[in-house]
Structure 1
Amino acid sequence: MQQPIIDFDQDEVGDWRAILACGHRQHVRHNPPLVERPWVLSAEGRARFVGVVLVCKRCDEEGGDESLPSVNHG
């Protein structure tokens, strides 16, 4: 299910997670060469991604609320 990013936090080892509108969290690591997300390393970069829609696998598994609007960032 698609959910917009509303904020970010860090896990216990310092990796960044997107906080989704549904309340779930999803890692958005910058881990070269496997994953390139340099934007997550700065407050300005993370701010640009607030509102971007990600697929929340936990909502899909739990059958979350599909009435939430999708927010497109662009």
Structure 2
Amino acid sequence: MAKKPLKDPSFPSGHTTAIFSVTTPFMILSPLLIMILLPLSFLVGWSRIRLGLHYPSDVLIGAIIGYICGLFSYLFFSSTGAV
């Protein structure tokens, strides 16, 4: 593991939350994109752990929150007819 540049990592991982919240609606709209976007999303989370910036629990909870936000965004916009 790399040297931890931060003394107090945040909970949850904002980068992981962001990438999952952005990629989830695209993966729902076009399942073929899952092959590209899901590994990309996991890679962002893994990099946060590898760089020593977050604990695995930070990344896991960030991914869950991001997925839920992305899912709710998709459901909201599809119910309004925007999707």
TM-score under structure 1 length normalisation? 0.28
The structure richer in strand per residue is: 1
The structure richer in helix per residue is: 2
Structure number with the bigger relative contact order (C-alpha 8 A, sep ≥ 6) is 2
